Structure 1
Amino acid sequence: MQQLQQRWVRFARAGKTGFGALDGKHVREHRGDMFAAPEPTGSVFALDELRLLTPTQPSKVIALWNNFHALGEKLQLPVPAEPLYLLKAPNSFLAAGEPIRKPLCEGKVVFEGELGIVIGKTCTAVPEAQALDHVFGYTCANDVTVADILHRDASFAQWARAKGFDTFCPMGPAVATGLDPASLTVTTLLDGAARQHYPISDMRFSVAQLVSLISLDMTLHPGDVILCGTSVGVGSMKPGNLVEVEINGIGRLSNRFGDG
C-alpha cells in the first residue's frame, strides 16, 4: 500500500512539546505515536508560533561514509563491499533554526548536506525486499565535521570525535512520508550560494540496502535516523555563515554556524 505524502514536525509551545502534520503555514496537532496511527487533536497552530524540535528523538543516528559514486570517484575510493558507517553522539542532535556551536578546538569545520532515512518500525536482520516497509520517511541533515581531527593521530581515525561535537547533527525541519528517495535531490547552500547539488539516485547502497544491511548489525528502532552520506561540494564554514540543506518534498534545514 502506497504511503500517504505528509510532512511531520515536532514542536515546543507554551512549555509543552507535541507533534503534528504540516499544512501550509500551519501545523495540525496529533496525539499518540507519530509512527503508529496518530490521531488529530483538532488543534491547529501557526507554524511561526512554534519552536521546532528535532523531527524525531532517535536512539541513534548512523552516518554513512563513501556512499556516493561521484564523491568516491573524485577521492579515488573503491566501492565498499558493505556500508561504512559511524554513530553520531546524541549531544550532537540539533533542531532546525538552532545555532551550530563553534568548537573550542582549532580546525576546519565542514558542512555535509545529506538525506536522512527515518525508521518507522523496529527491525532486526530485515530482508532487503522488506526493508522499505520499516521506513517511516525522510528528513534533511547536516553531518558537521571537524575535518582536521580525523587523521590527526596516525594510529587512530577519530571519526566519532570529529563528528560528535555538541550541535554537529542538525536535522529537520520535518519528516516527509510517501516519497520515492531515488527521485530526491540534495542542495546545500552557504549564505545563499549553492555548494552541493546531487541526486540520491547516485548512492552506492540504496535505502533498502542500507536499512537491511545495517539491521544485520544492530536493531533499528522507530525514530532512528540513517544519514545516507554526502557527495561532492563539501566545504568549510566560518562563524556567521548560514548553512541550509534543502531536499525536494521535505523542506529546507537552516542553521547558522558560530552563534552559539
Structure 2
Amino acid sequence: MRVIRYHDGAVRHGILEDDGTIQPVLGGLFDGLKPYGQATHLDRVQLLSPLDPRSIYGVGLNYVKHAREVNKPLPTVPMLFMKPVGTVVGPQAPIVLPKEGGIVHFEAEVAVVIGRVARRVDERTAGECIFGYTCGNDVSERVIQGKEMDQGTLLVGKAFDTFNPLGPAIATGLDPENIDIIGRVNGEVRQSSNTSDLVYSIRKLVSYLSQAITLYPGDVIMSGTPEGVGPIAPGDVVEIEIPEAGVLRNPVVAEET
C-alpha cells in the first residue's frame, strides 16, 4: 500500500493506486486509514511531504561501501544526529542552497516512518513499530559539516531549511532488509544500492534508539546513504527513488539575496 498526503483545498491523506487514483482516508496517518468520500486523482491535487515528522533522526556512515568510499572505519555504534523538522519539504518543492553553502551534497536515503510507540524494543520485534518507508534526501553542506565534525558536533551542516525532502508516498509492507534506493541528478544515476548493505539494519536502528529515546508515531529515521553522494548546484534536479514508494523529485535553486 502507498499512502500520500496532499492538498485539494484541504490537507488530506489518501491511498494511492497504480493508475494515479487517490482514495481519501479519514483522519490522520495513524488513524486506521479508513476510506471515505469520493476518489480523486494525482492530476487534481498537490502532493505534500507524506507526513510532518515529529522528530527526525539521521544516521551517518551506515552503508558499508559508502564508508569505504570516504575511507572511514565502520562505526562501532550507530553514528546519530538530528535534523530540525523545518528541513522537510515535499515533492517538487525546491531545495534552496543557502548563501553560506560552499559545497552542498545530495544523499539518497530510505526514510523509516515510526507507526507506534517504541520503548526498549528488541531487534526481533522492532519491525512491528514501523509504519512504512519513504524516499528521503539528507541534503548536507559539507564545509560547515566538516568544521562541526572536527569539534565533535553536527547540526547546522544538516539543518538548513529545505534540507530534508520526503516523499512522494509511504510504502507499507516492505522487507527492511531488502529495499532498493536510487539517487539521480539530472537523470543520471549517481547512487544505486540496497538496505542489505547497511552496517546497522533498520530494525537494529529502531531498537538501538528505543533503548534511550521513546519513539512515537510520526518520528522519522533517515537510515543513511550509500556510496555515490556528490554536489548539487542551482538548476539541477535531484531524484530519489524507492520503487515501491515512487520518485521524489526536487529542483535545486539558489537562495535569493
Residue number in structure 2 paired with 1:22 = 16
Contact 2:148–2:155 (CA<8 Å) still a contact in 1? no
Contact 1:149–1:158 (CA<8 Å) still a contact in 2? no
How far apart, CA to CA, are the structure 1 residues paired with 2:149 and 2:115? 39
Residue number in structure 2 paired with 1:3 = none
Residue number in structure 2 paired with 1:229 = 224
How far apart, CA to CA, are the structure 1 residues paired with 2:82 and 2:247? 24
How far apart, CA to CA, are the structure 1 residues paired with 2:205 and 2:123? 9
1:246 CA drift (Å): 0.7
Alpha-carbon spacing, 1:154–1:34, altered in 2? closer, same or farther (3 Å): closer
Tell me the SS of whatever aligns to 1:40: coil
Tell me the SS of whatever aligns to 1:215: helix
Tell me the SS of whatever aligns to 1:196: strand
2:243 matches 1:248: yes
1:93-123 deviation per Cα after TM superposition (whole angstroms, max 9, x unaligned):
1111101112021411100000011100011
Residue number in structure 2 paired with 1:138 = 133
1:36-90 deviation per Cα after TM superposition (whole angstroms, max 9, x unaligned):
4221113211112111111112111111001111111233322222211111111
RMSD between aligned residues: 1.5
2:201 matches 1:209: no
1:17 CA drift (Å): 0.7
How far apart, CA to CA, are the structure 1 residues paired with 2:32 and 2:223? 27
Aligned with residue 97 of structure 2, among 97, 102, 109: 102
What does 1:87-166 correspond to in 2, within 5 Å?
A: 87-152=82-147, 156-157=151-152, 159-166=154-161
Contact 1:91–1:166 (CA<8 Å) still a contact in 2? yes
Alpha-carbon spacing, 1:153–1:143, altered in 2? closer, same or farther (3 Å): closer
State the TM-score, normalizing by the size of structure 1.
0.93
Residue number in structure 1 paired with 2:54 = 59
> What is the percent sequence identity of the aligned residues?
35
State the TM-score, normalizing by the size of structure 2.
0.94
Q: What is the letter of the counterpart of residue 21 of structure 1?
A: I
Q: What is the letter of the counterpart of residue 36 of structure 2?
A: T
How far apart, CA to CA, are the structure 2 residues paired with 1:50 and 1:246? 21
Residue number in structure 1 paired with 2:41 = 46
Residue number in structure 2 paired with 1:258 = 253
What does 1:181-196 correspond to in 2, within 5 Å?
A: 181-196=176-191
1:151 CA drift (Å): 2.4
How far apart, CA to CA, are the structure 2 residues paired with 1:74 and 1:47? 39
Q: How many residues align?
A: 254
How far apart, CA to CA, are the structure 1 residues paired with 2:150 and 2:142? 16
Q: What is the letter of the counterpart of residue 128 of structure 1?
A: E
Alpha-carbon spacing, 1:154–1:225, altered in 2? closer, same or farther (3 Å): closer
How far apart, CA to CA, are the structure 2 residues paired with 1:94 and 1:115? 16
Contact 1:68–1:204 (CA<8 Å) still a contact in 2? yes
1:153 CA drift (Å): 5.8
Alpha-carbon spacing, 1:153–1:38, altered in 2? closer, same or farther (3 Å): closer
1:157 CA drift (Å): 4.7
Contact 2:98–2:254 (CA<8 Å) still a contact in 1? no
How far apart, CA to CA, are the structure 2 residues paired with 1:81 and 1:158? 17
Structure 1 stretches lacking a partner, 5+ long: 1-5
How far apart, CA to CA, are the structure 2 residues paired with 1:229 and 1:221? 20
Q: What is the letter of the counterpart of residue 227 of structure 1?
A: M
Alpha-carbon spacing, 1:12–1:74, altered in 2? closer, same or farther (3 Å): same
